[in-house]
A and B are shown apart, each in its own frame.
Chain A
Amino acid sequence: MQSASSSSSVSSFSSNGGTSRFASDAEFIELRGVCLAFGHRQVFDGLDCRLRKGGTHLLLGGSGTGKSTMLRMIGGLQRPDSGEVLVAGHSLAQKTEKQLWPIRKGIGMLFQNGALLDSMTVLENVGLPLREHTDASEVSIRARIAEVLAAVGLEDVESLLPRELSGGMLRRVAFARAIVREPEILLCDEPFSGLDPLNVTRIEELLMQLNRDLGLTIVVTSHHMASSLRMADQMILLRDGGCAAGTPEEFAGSDDSIITEFLGEDGRSFLARRHELRDRNPS
């Protein structure tokens, strides 16, 4: 059941006493000379990339350029053939699964197909990270679940199984699960795909609010350019095994044919709007 309310607020649910799970504030996420091949296909060939703490970073690129793979590497699900992936100063490449758990507790990930456990209800799926990693009471867990579900525009879905949800609802439940523990890093693989315009705006506002209020570092892959340009602090175009990075303004103003093609009309209107704002308020 979709909520008619357009409010998308989500309050703080501090399960770790409000302290950072990550000690280092330096280059928060860093990929150094990363090489990765699947068979004969070289996806990354010496990729260097730095993502700032508290930023919203948008990954762009054609199919097969490694956007989802880059998210998986930041989450420690994919190891590079060579090079280093650092999250808050921790190098992930040499860590065992068990050593990755403390790092992953600070990361929320929205998978492209949701990755909800199909034998569990929405309530059990969204509450799973809380039940596994916190001592919170059942009452506060249920309240928190209701809160995040309301924030993504869902009500009265707690008892449903994932197969009983539409594609858009399923993605929003998966999004709710990714943010329920208030991670410090949120990795979103195509968060807007399959959503109607109302819910695209809702999720976009929610992401911006999480970034603004809680200082989440957000890494998003998306082909929804209008939303992405509004949200992003940094845009990263993956191509030829490496990347090009810049601000949305730099990308929108770029004369690189691939960037122009990616941003399309949305890039031009974004730039026009920025110029208009600057003309109105030069300071």
Chain B
Amino acid sequence: MTNAVAELGSRSTSLIEGLGRVANFGGGLLASLFRRPSRFGFFLSALFNTGVLSIALICLSGFTVGMVLGLQLYTTLSRFGAEEGLGAVVGLSLIRELGPVLTGLLVTGRAGSAITAEIGAMKATEQLDGLRMMAIDPMHFVAMPRALALTLSMPLLNALFITLSFAGAYAVGVTLQGLDGGVYLAGLENAVRFGEDVGQSLLKSLVFGLLLGLIATYKGHACAPDAAGVARATTSTVVTASVCILLADYVITALWGV
């Protein structure tokens, strides 16, 4: 019993310590955003790696998700004779929830894990120490451009995912199932309110990008400097970021008002 309490205490302390370290790292990242030089070249390169190279995955996944939604919702709605509501349901579910969450999870798996692995490998091969010995701050040189790129690319990828999903649902609902295209688009247009729905979607994806950027770069910097440590950190990034994205999604939805 005493051991269990001691273990619980030790784990709680490590959790609080860990949160403190993440907060400290986040503060450092934020401060380095305003330091000179701007590292714009590194930011563009990171934006290419996280954003441009994720486009194919996002397009394919978005279109497929839209097709599945179109098929499932058309079948269900037609049971109640309400198939003309397809555009509205697809639009709201994708813009409010599925778009930002699925984009967040996909980018976590593709770009977030890659960033942790890259920074972890740099740590294991003493590249970060090499920078420190040249009086160059690895936080400013390595982490900040990558975290910023993740944060800014997430809303753009989210918009792309949603657009491709609309196309997927259109392809199934209109082309295959025979729903009128005008009805689908009118339902979509009437149901979605720009400020509320699109604003919420963009806010969510921005927050998810911020969380992923922080977690991916922190895990890379904090990993044990060996192959096993890098592997553990990469897995941990995917798990932690996915959970944080789902929790943040609930919090934003609850605060925004459904």
Give the B-binding residues of A (Cβ under 8 A): 72, 75, 77, 97, 100-102, 104-105, 107-109, 111-113, 115-118, 128-129, 132-133
Contacts and interface: CB of A to CB of B under 8 A. Distances in A.
Contacts of A132: 134-136
Residue of B122, B132, B133 with most partner-chain A CB within 10 A: B133
A282 B130 CA distance: 47
A111 B135 contact: no
Nearest to B137: A97
A28 B133 CA distance: 18
A108 to B, nearest CB: 8
Contacts of A129: 134
A104 B132 contact: yes
Nearest to B136: A132
11 contacts: A72-B129, A97-B137, A107-B133, A109-B130, A113-B125, A116-B127, A116-B130, A118-B122, A128-B136, A129-B134, A132-B136
B126 interface: yes
Interface string B95-138: 00000000000000000000000000010011101111111110
Contact of A115 (B126, B135, B137): B126
Interface in B126-178: 126-127, 129-137
B137 A77 contact: no
A115 B131 CA distance: 9
Interface string B64-89: 00000000000000000000000000
A109 B136 contact: no
Contact of A113 (B126, B131, B134, B137): B126
A115 B132 contact: no
A100 B133 CA distance: 9
B135 A105 contact: yes
A113 B129 CA distance: 12
A77 B135 contact: no
Nearest to B142: A117
A109 B133 contact: yes
B126 A128 contact: no
Given A77-B133, A132-B135, 15 more contacts: A77-B132, A100-B135, A102-B135, A104-B135, A109-B130, A111-B129, A113-B126, A115-B127, A116-B127, A117-B122, A117-B130, A118-B125, A128-B134, A132-B136, A133-B135
